[in-house]
Amino acid sequence: MSSPDRSSPDGASSGGRLLRYVDALCEAFAQEMRRDDSVFLFGLDVDDHKAIQGSTRGLLAEFGAERVFTTPLSEDAMTGVAIGAAMAGMRPIHTHIRMDFLLLCMNQLVNIAAKAHYMYGGAVKVPLVVRSMIGKSWGQGAQHSQALHSMFMHVPGLKVVAPSNAHDAKGCMIAAVRDDNPVIVMEHRLLYPTEAEVPEAPYEVKPGKARIVAPGDDVTVVGISNMVLECLRARELLAEVGISAEVIDPIWLSPLDIDTIARSAARTGRLLVADNGWTACGAGAEIVAQVLERTGDARIAVRRIGFEPTTCPPSPPLEARFYPNPGTVASTVHAMLRPAAAPWQPDPERTRLAHQIQFRGPF
């Protein structure tokens, strides 16, 4: 399985080879742990033989149990351990198998990790990485299918990143490990098998820079996390009916590169944000608001799409309605450009989620 564009997202080619998203993450961990003895990785089952779907495979053997270790199912306490270690000069990488579990440690993340640097007059740094897996899977239902990035985007002092490809997964993770602030890394599990050109040498995809993934003239489409891939598929459907869509990957959600998005929206006159979360008070709302504030152009037509306003159902037919897909992206764009035309729906067989057909779960 591969992402639509198998080349490096930013054209980097030195030492590049096709690598899976999950393997790019593992390579980032290994390279940073070799470079810096203060980096260690822990979390439930990181030393298991399945190794968090392979993202930590081989790390225990190379770095030992003092730097790669499992934890009890006690997210709040373990987050306190991570924050304390970071304040003491270590660089912990705390792994959560599901982002939903971060709700158990919100006080630690919001009231301690995010605020410590400010509260201690800049004397304290919290170089903490929090890994959190998101995404639909195989009917996991209400408590295991959420993406909570908008909650963390709301908090000053936290950085939030959602890489959509293997190249950015490695570069963003390295940048996160080297950052002196707490960083929430959101990894979509359905992206793990996707491939891209990834340089062997360590590199950073630094905070605050979005990427125009595909150019277009009629509408600006922003995809978050795996929605970048689905927006690219929607772009192909739209091209068949004469609509040219520009697709942008924000990569880092906080800090957010609003300038790149605003310039594109001002040029095309239309902006659609396809989120991997609910739309109310979500990342899409923030992006739309910032674009309108930045451009001052009320003529820009804006729309948001994301999860349906309900908890995620475990039933596959209902779950399919819950998540946006290339068809919902394409039909929404079509309605924005041609409001007087009859509603248009692409062929349903071409609108299934990119990895839905092949993904069978991690085990």
Q: Using CA atoms, how far apart are residues 161 and 254, in angstroms rounded to an integer? A: 7
What is the pLDDT, as a whole number, of residue 15?
63
Q: Using CA atoms, how far apart are residues 170 and 180, in angstroms rounded to an integer? A: 18
- 109 with 182: CB under 8 angstroms? yes
Closest CA to 322 of 359, 357, 279: 279
What is the pLDDT, as a whole number, of residue 155?
97
Strand, helix or coil for residue 132: strand
Q: Residue 8: is its pLDDT beyond 60? A: no
Question: Kind and range of the H or E element at 229?
Answer: helix 227-239
Closest CA to 100 of 40, 149, 160, 143: 143
Separation of CA 42 from chain center:
21
In angstroms, the Cα distances linking 298 to 153, 287, 302 are 25, 14, 10
Q: Residue 188: is its pLDDT beyond 60? A: yes
**Domain 20-199 and domain 211-358 have a common topology:** yes
Q: How confident is the model at residue 356 (pLDDT cuts 50, 70, 90)?
A: low
What is the pLDDT, as a whole number, of residue 361?
41
> Would you call 75 a catalytic residue per the annotation?
yes
Q: Residue 10: is its pLDDT beyond 60? A: no
Say which CATH superfamily domain 20-199 falls into.
Thiamin diphosphate (ThDP)-binding fold, Pyr/PP domains (3.40.50.970)
Q: Residue 1: is its pLDDT beyond 70? A: no
pLDDT digits (tens, 9 = 90+) for 72-119: 888 899 999 999 999 999 999 999 988 999 999 999 999 999 999 999
Strand, helix or coil for residue 343: coil
Active-site position among 27, 32, 75, 246 = 75
pLDDT digits (tens, 9 = 90+) for 220-234: 999 999 999 999 999
CB atoms within 10 A of CB 29: 27
What is the pLDDT, as a whole number, of residue 316?
84
Q: Give domain limits for the chain.
A: 20-199, 211-358
- 205 with 175: CB under 8 angstroms? yes
Q: Using CA atoms, how far apart are residues 62 and 33, in angstroms rounded to an integer? A: 10
Burial class (CB within 10 angstroms; exposed 0-12, middle 13-18, buried 19+) of 360: exposed
Q: Using CA atoms, how far apart are residues 15 and 7, in angstroms rounded to an integer? A: 13
Q: Residue 261: is its pLDDT beyond 50? A: yes
What is the pLDDT, as a whole number, of residue 50?
82
* Mean of per-residue pLDDT scores for the chain: 91
Active-site position among 96, 117, 144, 355 = 144
Q: How far apart, in Å, do the first and last CA atoms of the chain sit?
A: 17
pLDDT digits (tens, 9 = 90+) for 16-59: 899 999 999 999 999 999 999 999 999 998 988 788 889 999 99
The CATH number that domain 211-358 falls under is 3.40.50.920
> Would you call 96 a catalytic residue per the annotation?
no
pLDDT digits (tens, 9 = 90+) for 238-253: 999 999 999 999 999 9
Q: Using CA atoms, how far apart are residues 172 and 118, in angstroms rounded to an integer? A: 24
Q: How confident is the model at residue 9 (pLDDT cuts 50, 70, 90)?
A: low
Q: Residue 136: is its pLDDT beyond 90? A: no
Q: What is the pTM of this model?
A: 0.92
> What is the arithmetic mean of pLDDT over 136-159?
88
Q: Residue 2: is its pLDDT beyond 80? A: no
